[in-house]
Structure 1
């Protein structure tokens, strides 16, 4: 399966586009959006990053197709730090993650529990 990537710049080898963003990165990204469109790809360090600069496209990413983009990258260190990716921070989005988030919210982060921790 061939994936069509959005247009954009890759920058220099190890740093990507980090140094080229300058002191005002929001202005640099705005200029790039004028040239490449509302969705573009840049490299931040070694990580390819998709930049969305339109409210309509951001709504597609964050609201309509949120399940597709909700996953987390696999990090080998997290396998050992969170007992096999069982924590909320490192587990993949799904039924287990939703259950754990509900458990944290009800049991640890409720107003009564937070007050009792004081």
Structure 2
């Protein structure tokens, strides 16, 4: 897992596994957002599997999936809402981290 800081309160990485949750919590994150649709790639852990591990570690989990290159205004609005509601710092992931970075920037821009 390669954690990349986007801001002081938001970081991204590529796909994680349930075993990564402990390291995410130990790094100080309080919430996790998954921007990857389930079954995008064979063998990837489901969002539900990651959610169970996150909740067991007392981390807030949100699933805001969208296909790479197909981000909608609704996706951006849902991300902006999540960022307002959940405690930071926030860790987000997708296939590579790029999608989670792009939606974060779009959500911040939408808020003005």
Query: Which structure carries more helix by proportion?
Result: 1
**TM score, norm. by length of structure 2:** 0.29
Q: Which has the higher strand share?
A: 2
Using CA pairs under 8 Å that are at least 6 residues apart, name the structure with larger relative contact order, 1 or 2. 2
Greater C-alpha radius of gyration: 1
TM-score, scaled to structure 1: 0.28
